[in-house]
Structure 1
Amino acid sequence: MNIAGQQQKRFLSIHEYLLMELLQKNGVKTHLVKASPRLARKHIPSLRTSAQVLAGGRGKGTFDSGWKGGVRTIFSPHEAQMFAEKALGHKLVTKQMGAAGKSQGPVMVASSQGGVDIESVATENPEAILQLPIDINKGADRAAVKDLAKRMGFTPKCVDQATDKMIKLYELFMEQDATMVEINPMTESANHKVISMDAKINFDDNAEFRQHEVYGLRDITQEDPREVAAAKCNLNYIGLDGSIGCLVNGAGLAMSTMDIIKLHGGEPANFLDVGGGATAEQVTEAFKIISSDPRVTTIFTNIFGGIMSCRVIAQGIIAAASTLKLQIPLVVRLQGTEVDDAKKLVAEFGLRIITSNDLDDAASKSVKLNKMVNMTRAAKINVSFELLV
């Protein structure tokens, strides 16, 4: 028995009609969408656009009803009602979402043949995998869940029990911000009791702020200690297998930094985004986390100061170098807000840092320095930074 979101993403995407409300609250005039054929006809004077699908390419999409075009121009209340009837409640397929169309929410997945190797069952006997999509606006429909329990093979004496349990599992899924609730097996005992004999639940880490009780149950001994330390400092850190530590502001820039390191033949040791409003203390903690990885032999700091001040990064670098007595070579690229002040701070402190204004050049130097350090470590030879300047 499994309840999960059909498409899980790491970013938040909101329906356009809700965004219209958000814009209106912030003083941006909009025209709100009314989501039923009857209301579409009634409110046609204020209806301009319609978009209830979280995907692009809607204008050229096709509904599962065969109706073409997810965005239509309408000229009368009658057309508004007619087009709404053709579209609302149907699945829209566009080039951006693939042939399966846009999933609409959680789904219950169940099988009487579950167990250790359910993947083989799905391949060899797909009919044995039962699915029940759920409309999050309406919740789990009891009649539909009861039918699912019957198809799973529960005896008449246990069907209502199984139905109750599955509905409660769905309610837990929603209330606890879960991304998956799995019971394997959910079984019927000899005295006709439905028993959940196993549990696996994954929770959306974006909901930690409102799920304090759940997150208070974490066993951090099972997690990467670097990631635990980073989370305590509100840093976004993911450990990788390379030896070039990365400290970057902004997730997009961090990913681009890892890409360009690999382009030059290096391997990043981590993803670390200090965010747009990091303090010098957070930057120091970031260096502490990166340098705690024994595989890291070079650190590449890549900062583009927009909201983030390059001066703050410089202060963090100086604090880290002082308190941690960093022996790991640093390559630093700083551009943007207060960059001249930042460079002056670094220069006055006298840190042995390789600097570059160009991203490609900085990445190239990081990889070259990293390879040099790795080759000379075994021979215990000191690396000359000046060779790369």
Structure 2
Amino acid sequence: MAVVTVLDLMAGPDTGYLPLFSLGPAFACVAGSVRRSLLVGALAWALCLSAAGYDGLLLRHRATVALVSIAGVTAAAALAAAIRRSHERELADVRSVAEAAQRVLLRPVPRHAGHMRIAVSYTSAAAEARIGGDLYEVVPTPTGARVIVGDVQGKGLDAVETAAVVLGAFREAAPEEKDLETVGNRIERALNRRLEGEEFVTAVLAEIDTDHGVTLLNYGHPAPLLLRADGTVEPADPDAYAPPLGLASLGPQGPTPHKVQLAQGDQMLLYTDGVTEARNRHREFYPLAQRAHLLDQPDPERALETLRRDLVAYTHGPLHDDAAMLLLRYRATPEAPNIPADRTHQPSTAPVAPDEPPQQRRHASTGT
């Protein structure tokens, strides 16, 4: 409006700049409140009236049309601002429901399981969603714990519903069944009652044993990463890959368990493809194996947070897929009993790097 005022004073009465004052209230409704739109409209009307008086057009048809146009645009801007604020309140309510759903689905996991320390991190690709199709859970058992990390095909509410089915079946079967294969079969049956067509869920089931080992069952999921105490990094590839959960009837026989032995200081990282398929500006995938040294820190939660921040910094922008990571760290002396962390899945209050987008902040992790 200041630019229009200067142009009108310089051009004189022969050039019709007066209607352009209505641009002020038109733009004010984009981010401002109803009150701000009305105030800007009143200011535009006053400026137009002053400019018309300076040009000697106060009682002319041209000035009258400009003033009426500003009044009409101001009214429309106030209405648009009111509608936008209403939609913003509705979105805030939806976000609150999503956060409540997240706390139900992705509950705090135990920080200890026998000889294992456990840390988890979840980064959603969309801040508005707060939750996606990635899932994880740790269920304590009399002999240790059973773990699942998975990724649901697709996104949106359907993916969240499927994740709820998987987590519900796992939480019910994990403490009851004698082996992982039976747990996987129960999840498969639960999904068959829910899924249609070729929908599926990739997942890794793990059982923390009392003999310093972890038994793995891989349903078409990226292989966990083993980080030995001597710095060696290797994938825990299964002997043969099996179809994802939900596609057992279409593919070969299900997965066979394979066991990995861990020693003092060894770690195992379970993750979803949102980690390894994250790309930088040059379209290069995130080199997880080369960045695994970032986990070499005394505290597993801090180590996993360091890796998450590095992932976000590598992409130079928002992730295009959800990224879940669960870290198992072996300790020769058993830790405290299986007590879940008492932090709920709220946005992390840890300092965020200046170049980190707000929507990448972790909103699901264990802590002290």
Give the TM-score normalised by the residue count of structure 2: 0.24
Which structure is higher in RCO with an 8 Å CA cutoff and minimum separation 6? Answer: 2
Give the TM-score normalised by the residue count of structure 1: 0.23
